Amino acid sequence: MAKVLLGFMGAGKSTIARGLDPNYLDMDALIEQRLGMSIVDFFAEKGEETFRQIESEVLTELLETDQVVSTGGGVVISQRNRDLLKTNSDNIYLKADFETLYQRISADEDNQRPLFLNNSKGELAVIFQERQAWYEEVASRILDVTKLNPEEIVEELR
């Protein structure tokens, strides 16, 4: 059974996954490998529906592993993905309030996220609200990471 980290962008999924297991699986990186291009370019070329189908295929494979998995923030958009996640008993939602996440995303110059670049703060807040219910729907555990540093989060999850 995989240990799946869920949450909005800026929640620390990749950082925490790396802290739990240096050999963690990054779902977005695996999808980009399979596509042979960036997710952003694939979205523009083939559309969201085609992307979500491939995302579901990769998620299915990852759930069959015993590894730590860092998901993309949008993995919960698809009903199929939420159904797949509900079959996994170790889904951890790294939850933080919107303001905290927005500050983290704004400060992260190394990872310029298209969703952040192409939407206003208000639009992002709406996306965050919508996804929050879906994260909670599939989570077996919710950890509020708003006031925790990465070391504290990793320690809490061990």
Three-state secondary structure string covering the chain: CCEEEECCCCCCHHHHHHHHCCCCEEHHHHHHHHHCCCHHHHHHHHCHHHHHHHHHHHHHHHHCCCCEEECCCCHHHCHHHHHHHHCCCCEEEEECCHHHHHHHHHHCCCCCCHHHHCCCHHHHHHHHHHHHHHHHHHCCEEEECCCCCHHHHHHHHC
Residues annotated in a binding site: 10-15, 28, 52, 73, 113, 131
pLDDT at 124 > cutoff 80? yes
Residues annotated in a binding site for ATP: 10-15, 113
Residues annotated in a binding site for Mg(2+): 14
Average pLDDT, the chain: 91
Residues annotated in a binding site for substrate: 28, 52, 73, 131
* % the chain with pLDDT above 90: 73
Domains in the chain (CATH in brackets) are 3-157 (3.40.50.300)
Tell me: the pLDDT tens digits for 51-71?
Answer: 989 999 999 999 999 999 999
**Residue 107: which pLDDT band, with cuts at 50, 70 and 90?**
confident
pLDDT score for 47: 84
